[in-house]
Amino acid sequence: MEDYRVKITIRNERLLAAMEGMGYKSVAEFSRNQGLNGVKVREIISGKITPLDREGNPKELTKEILEILNLTIEKAFTEKQLKGFKKHTFEIKVEEKKLLQIINPAKNLEIKVIEQEVKNKLSEIFSKYLTPREEKVLRMHYGIGLATEHTFDEISSQLLVSSTRVAQIAAKALRKLKHPNVVEKLMETGAQDVFTKVKFKKINSDRK
């Protein structure tokens, strides 16, 4: 049995369940269809920003979300969520046998379907804004759609160029993707909703 490092992101499951109940597969889809700021909606769901103003009243965006979902402030947020969280992600070490016990096979399948939709949207954006080489470097380096991540040295051996050149290609690709118009399109794919739920990263034996 191997050990895995599990990254868990705090999310408001009450709001997400209400969105799913309305047929939305992601926060991005919900926000886009309702004409809301997807980034801000996601921040409220993660607790990055509080749903209340300084006077303790619901913020305008909070009111809009609650009205759309037909929820009261009490039903949508716990006392802790009303105050927001200073830390939004946690990493813990879990044994493989315990990890298998906490994964719901049916839910896992549902997540895989959504992940595939997101991957398809990401591929469309990559092919539109990046050259084939830039896309390959990013996918390999960050493990997008692959089983594992690769170092610049590993990528350089495949592309038959120096690792410095690979780093330059990656930097150029990232600059393209950081353009405001492209960032907005990336956010709309729902990638944040899918890939920040729970991430599993195998711990190499030499690091134990």
Domain boundaries, the chain: 3-83, 105-195
Q: CA 18 → CA 26, 67, 71, 73, distances in Å?
A: 11, 12, 8, 13
Q: Could you tell me if 27 and 193 are in contact, meaning their C-beta atoms sit under 8 angstroms apart?
A: yes
Hey, do 3-83 and 105-195 end up sharing a CATH topology, with the first three levels equal? no
Please report where in the chains the tokens 């120096």 appear, as a residue: 162
Give the CATH number of domain 3-83; options: 1.10.3470, 3.30.110, 1.10.260, 3.40.1000: 1.10.260
The residue that leads in pLDDT, 199 or 44, is: 44
CATH dotted code for 105-195: 1.10.10.10
Q: Could you tell me if 57 and 50 are in contact, meaning their C-beta atoms sit under 8 angstroms apart?
A: no
The per-residue pLDDT for range 80-89, each reduced to its tens digit, is 788 766 555 5
Return the pLDDT at 3. 55
Residues paired with residue 3 on neighbouring β-strands, in sequence order: 95
pTM over 0.75: no
**pLDDT of 34 above 90:** yes
What is the band of 169 on the pLDDT scale with cuts at 50, 70, 90? Answer: very high
Is residue 60 packed enough to be buried (19+ CB in 10 Å), middle (13-18) or exposed (0-12)?
exposed
Residue type, 6: V
Of 55, 57, 59, 54, give the one whose Cα is nearest residue 43.
Answer: 59
